[in-house]
Structure 1
């Protein structure tokens, strides 16, 4: 079995993000001692992660309460979209652009139909993996989620959206911590095709670190691991984008 078979990109991404447990990390580090190919793959993923971080850090934050008609600076948007397109080519993603000037996170995710089940599959199924607790980014995710779901509410095209949280992103769905509890509840009630999920392993790590029980917002689906959920969804043909 080759290293490409032994360690998936999803697994190595989890390592880069510090999301593996001690046993998994130890096994990978032992392999790295004598495997240059594996080390090169991890280095490449770290470079790509930096490029993605740069792209998302420069996407304009949309405020649905202020400046609805405020012009958007397309310079940074063009750079960000170009970087994401380049990354998609490097990783071998299958990409389909429906709009030459995407204006938000959801539009970019929609444009990137990663690993489609079939080319004639018109469904839009996306997983947004939220790993940040940055207020601007979280508000952007919720703003763009709502705008996207409204657009397709009466469409014949089937749409499904999962917002999967782990790491620092757990705070989006933590009861008594999330400032968006009321808004999330409203979105859950309004859109049956929207699911909020949390990584059980990440929850357990926070509980172990703080010594306190972690309670998630009502309606949150707790999955065994973010990594496993992402891998399963990608096998089913869902698009995946990390924020």
Structure 2
């Protein structure tokens, strides 16, 4: 009787182990950070194209992907409400993705320097999140095993 109980317990544990591992393998999550540090519409569009391609690729595989497009230095222009040459594409991409799967990060160090230099507040697109430092944000994402892509 004791042997039967032990065998049954082992069978239950094994079936639970296989049942909990299978979805994790199928549902592998991917994380990629893109870096924009140039005020160049071609570079900005290239990053948006790359992000779109990544999203479409993993959607086709039914796999999850998180994307963070990090801007700093002259690249912050990408997310400026008054100057972004790609703001319509940023909005469309944000709308195209499942909520919370793409983030646009604007460097506050750069924003503060621009405000000081220009003498007025710099408005950031509502689709973006201001992070304390773009460079530090990229470092921290990489420390969390995010892939890093620089155009």
> 1:201: which partner in 2?
109
> 1:227: which partner in 2?
135
Residue pair 1:131, 1:242 contacting (<8 A) in 2 also:
no
Distance 1:181 1:156 in 2: 28
Residue pair 1:173, 1:181 contacting (<8 A) in 2 also:
yes
Distance 1:238 1:148 in 2: 14
Distance 2:149 2:58 in 1: 19
Distance 1:237 1:216 in 2: 28
Distance 2:143 2:43 in 1: 27
Distance 2:149 2:102 in 1: 16
Aligned length: 123
Distance 2:131 2:104 in 1: 10
Deviations 1:189-224 (A, max 9, x none): 111311111011110011111112100111211111
Cα distance, 1:122 vs structure 2: 4.2
Distance 1:217 1:162 in 2: 15
Report the TM-score when normalising by structure 2. 0.75
| RMSD over equivalenced CA pairs, Å | 1.7
TM alignment of 1:1-243, pairs within 5 A? 122-192=28-98, 193-243=101-151
Structure 1 residue ranges without an equivalent (≥5): 1-120
Distance 2:50 2:136 in 1: 26
Tell which has more relative contact order, 1 or 2 (C-alpha 8 A, sep 6+): 2
3-state DSSP of counterpart to 1:133: coil
Report the TM-score when normalising by structure 1. 0.48
Residue pair 1:146, 1:187 contacting (<8 A) in 2 also:
yes
Residue pair 2:44, 2:86 contacting (<8 A) in 1 also:
no
Higher strand share: 2
Distance 1:235 1:211 in 2: 36
Structure 1: which 4+ aligned runs deviate by more than 4 Å?
none
